[in-house]
A = this chain, B = another copy of it.
């Protein structure tokens, strides 16, 4: 068993750093490609080469593996250490360089690749894709797809890693109404403002404005969440419509987890604060361009 075994892996070309770069080189087909970070770290991810001009790099997915767990194993976008005030930032995945998961399992498990912190991007695209959909069928298995086009990331260091360093997803780091991060208008690629609103619980309607994606918000108890997909909050029960978060939710440990309190009034009941079953059972894929 020797070195000869790996002779197959070889090229003299350097790699693209993003799908946008590949697009500029003329690559037109959606699919899996190898990219390289500024440090020369090689990784493989999915490129969306068709939406709104293409060139979108998949950098992460947020997947709820067990809504009954309360910041337990698999809650990598909140905390795997239980609901604990000792860990106000939880696992800190939004603002560190830890990576996890694989692109082919991005709808079955949390996923984060080096592009999340390496790319210099302007906009994000978000797909909600049904759990366990295979990469060949992601587009078909989507229930909501949208992107921004304001170049907002340019103001926050060029990616979410730097955005969340500026706006920590940390318990007690701010107040609900005073300290929200950016709310960015979105363009729908699948769905619209009405279908977006209908994915969340009926009680949430009075607190959300569809047509935006919002980053880093606090709820009534000053617990932090990372992302409100498709909406701008106007209220403070953000655990009902925002995902990810720090490691402590003061009102109830039941709010601690990647999908926070999406099942607050029962799993997939779509009653009161509970979101629609199709939303709980879809992974949130995050792209940069």
- Chain A residues within 8 Å of B, Cβ to Cβ: 1-16, 22, 29-34, 36-42, 44, 65-66, 68-69, 72-74, 80-81, 84, 86-87, 91-92, 96-99, 101-105, 108-109, 114, 132, 134-136
A271 to chain B, nearest CB (A): 19
What are 16 A-B residue pairs whose CB atoms fall within 8 Å in the complex?
Answer: A1-B30, A2-B38, A3-B15, A5-B39, A6-B34, A7-B14, A8-B16, A9-B10, A11-B12, A31-B39, A66-B81, A69-B81, A97-B102, A98-B102, A98-B109, A99-B105
Interchain CB contact under 8 A, A66 and B44? no
**Contact partners of A22 in chain B: CB under 8 A:** 8
Interchain CB contact under 8 A, A6 and B42? yes
**Contact partners of A10 in chain B: CB under 8 A:** 8-14
**Contact partners of A16 in chain B: CB under 8 A:** 8
**Contact partners of A134 in chain B: CB under 8 A:** 97
- Whole-angstrom CA separation of A8 from B40 in the bound complex: 10
Q: Is the interface of A mostly helix, strand, loop or mixed?
A: loop
* Count of chain copies: 3
Most buried by B among A42, A87, A92: A42
A81-B73, A105-B98, A105-B99 as given contacts; A8 in contact with B37, CB under 8 Å: no
- Whole-angstrom CA separation of A13 from B12 in the bound complex: 11
**Contact partners of A29 in chain B: CB under 8 A:** 1
Given contacts A8-B10, A97-B134, 18 further A-B contacts (CB under 8 A): A1-B29, A1-B32, A1-B40, A4-B40, A6-B15, A7-B14, A8-B11, A8-B13, A8-B22, A8-B33, A9-B34, A10-B10, A10-B11, A11-B12, A66-B81, A73-B73, A98-B101, A99-B102
- Whole-angstrom CA separation of A39 from B137 in the bound complex: 13
A38-B2, A73-B73, A92-B108 as given contacts; A9 in contact with B9, CB under 8 Å: yes
A41-B44, A86-B68, A136-B1 as given contacts; A36 in contact with B6, CB under 8 Å: yes
